[in-house]
Amino acid sequence: MPVDNFCAVALVGGRLAPGGGETYEALLSRRDRDRMRPKEVGSRMRQYEMMMILDPETDERNLQPTLEKMLAVVPKDGGTVDEIDVQGRRRLAYEIKKQAEGIYVVVMMTAEPATVQELDRQLGLNESVLRTKLLRRDA
């Protein structure tokens, strides 16, 4: 294919229209050939583990409904909260927001990356959450 006609080539269904034999992957660099395309990445459910440190002044009797309210964005967007493990009140290694203690909670969930990013953003805005750490389990 001549270089001057390269701009006139249209991509149709992953193949170049005029040439027929070449695929879209041939145009990508070697590093990018095995990567997923943005549409495929956004629609993939992944497993995550999130640890939260909550304000120690949070009432432990109302902790379960409070957590369900915080995590409501996950089932709303099609994900699932697999497990909530409340590890209880622990002393912190250093003060966070002038608190020496915190309630540790570990949440296992399956969700899309955009949903988890939104959850992390919402928890960062919540005043009763001192700290969050989010990890992808299958990585």
Tell me: pLDDT of 8 over 60: no
Nearest CA to 128 out of 66, 40, 45, 48 is that of: 66
Q: How many CA atoms lie within 13 A of 26 on its CB side?
A: 9
Q: What is the pLDDT of residues 62-105, one digit of tens each?
A: 899 999 999 999 999 999 999 999 999 999 999 999 999 999 99
The tokens describing 41, both together, are 């990445």
Please report, as a single letter, which amino acid is at residue 13.
Answer: G
Q: Are 24 and 15 in contact (CB under 8 A)?
A: yes
What's the whole-number mean pLDDT along residues 117-122? 93
Q: What is the pLDDT of residues 20-68, one digit of tens each?
A: 555 555 566 666 666 655 555 445 889 999 999 999 998 888 899 999 9
Rounded to an integer, what distance in angstroms lies between the CA atom of residue 27 and that of residue 37?
14
pLDDT of residue 5: 44
Please report, as a single letter, which amino acid is at residue 56.
Answer: P
Backbone angles phi, psi at 138, to 5 degrees: -90, 10
Q: How confident is the model at residue 118 (pLDDT cuts 50, 70, 90)?
A: very high
Please report, as a single letter, which amino acid is at residue 82.
Answer: D
Rounded to an integer, what distance in angstroms lies between the CA atom of residue 15 and that of residue 22?
6
